[in-house]
Amino acid sequence: MSTTANFKELDVRPILRDGGEPFPAIMDAVQSLQPGEGLRLLATFRPVPLLSVMARRGYSAELKELDDGEWEVMFLPVTEASAEVLHSIGAEEAAAWPDPLWRVDLSEQQPPVPMEKVLSLIELMEPGEVLFAVLSEESRFLCAELEQRGHQWVGNLDASKRAYRMLIRVGGEG
């Protein structure tokens, strides 16, 4: 374990025991982390779905089962030179795309609002036009829906790892 990282602690066990959804509290805690700071999470179960969400945000995880069957997860920031850029098939040449027609910051919106807003905006655009969107995290649902509708996209986490940036080029002729 890294001894250089400072950790913010979040205990979601009371939320889970009351039948609540801890994801918003976890994302709020992640948003408040300083560069280089980690998160110590306490949960009533092994939070497998959260591991991939946090990995996409640039955190590795060290899991430890506690004596009572509950879990401690230490999320550590991963230092890397540059964030991985993901893209749809055919979007490898995104650098040659035109400048975005619209720029929208949806990073404060909760799902499904960002996806709905992006899909409604691209319906108003002409083939070949580009939309720049900032989201709170990568949305595999949005990426799949864009591809299904014939659009191209490219995206990555920003340097702070607190926002996911996407360029979306409207499909069709153009």
| Pair (72, 95) in one structural domain | no
**Structural domain count, the chain:** 2
| Pair (112, 134) in one structural domain | yes
| Pair (63, 100) in one structural domain | no
pLDDT bracket for residue 173 (50, 70, 90) = low
Residue 1 forms part of a structural domain? no
Average pLDDT of the chain, as a whole number: 87
As a whole-number percent, the residues of the chain with pLDDT over 70 amount to 93
CATH code of the domain containing 109: 3.30.110.40
| Pair (68, 95) in one structural domain | no
**Mean pLDDT, rounded, for 123-127:** 95
- Nearest Cα neighbor of 139 from 164, 167, 102, 169 is 164
End-of-domain residue from the set 36, 58, 77: 77
What are the phi and psi torsion angles at 64 (to 5°)?
A: -140, 125
- Cβ neighbors of 87 (< 8 A, separation 6 or more) are 94, 152, 153, 154, 155
Omega of the bond prior to 111 within 30 degrees of 0, cis?
A: no
| Pair (164, 96) in one structural domain | yes
Supply the range of the domain harboring residue 119: 86-169
Per-residue pLDDT at 163 = 84
The pLDDT tens digits of the residues spanning 157-171 come to: 877 777 889 999 999
| Pair (98, 159) in one structural domain | yes
